[in-house]
């Protein structure tokens, strides 16, 4: 237990806040990117399926 108290350098509160902000912003950007890719691929595949169905009929 002394190892944690005496030999570990814990981050300062301001460092933790800035790191948390970076992670939050990165998470939001990645979720928007994933949503955009998913939405785009859904639209593209839907269009391809419609074209293929109309060719068959």
Q: Which residues contact 2 (CB under 8 A, 6 or more apart)?
A: none
DSSP assignment letter at 10: P
- Provide mean pLDDT across the span 10-32: 96
Residue 8: the pLDDT is 86
Which value, to the nearest 10 degrees, does the dihedral of the CA atoms of residues 40, 46, 51, 55 take? 150
For the chain, the average pLDDT equals 93
Tell me the whole-structure pTM to 2 decimals: 0.72
Greatest CA separation for the chain: 76
Selection from 24, 8, 6 nearest residue 16 by Cα:
24
Could you tell me the CA-to-CA distances from 40 to 8, 19, 27, 35, 47 in Å, in that order?
Answer: 47, 32, 20, 8, 11
Domain parsing of the chain, residue ranges: 11-56
């Amino acid at each position: 237990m002394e190892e944690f108290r005496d030999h570990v350098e814990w981050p300062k509160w301001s460092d933790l806040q800035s790191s948390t902000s970076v992670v939050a912003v990165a998470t939001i950007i990645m979720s928007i990117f994933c949503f955009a890719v998913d939405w785009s691929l859904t639209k593209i595949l839907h269009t391809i399926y419609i074209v293929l169905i109309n060719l068959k009929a």
